[in-house]
Amino acid sequence: MPFVNIKTPEAALNTQQKTEISHRITELLVEYFSEHARAHTMVLIEEVKDGGYYRADEPFSIPPEYRAK
């Protein structure tokens, strides 16, 4: 079963964008594994709270201009 786990800053994506990403990733995996993989493909999009992860040893907060609208 193909399993894709995406971690993204909280509020970076809206529901429509998450749905589109899920569909596009599923289509990509079907191209590689065949149509039989579709029913078993899982895409998990996890939102990490601001300051919940680090980049270059500094806590990361998503800039306002990158928040989903």
Query: What pLDDT, in 10s, does the model give residues 3-62?
Result: 999 999 888 899 999 999 999 999 999 999 999 999 999 999 999 988 788 888 888 887
Q: 18-22 long-range contacts, Cβ below 8 Å, gap at least 24? A: 18/45, 21/45
| Domain 3-66 = CATH 3.30.429.10 | yes
Q: Note the pLDDT of residue 3.
A: 97
According to DSSP, the residues that pair with 47 across neighbouring strands are 8
Q: Global pTM?
A: 0.79
**What is the reported pLDDT for 58?**
86
Given a cut of 80, whether residue 66 has pLDDT beyond it is: no
Structure tokens at 46: 């996890």
Q: Report domain extents, the chain.
A: 3-66
Q: What is the pLDDT of residue 32?
A: 95
**Among 42, 45, 20, which residue's Cα sits nearest to residue 33?**
42
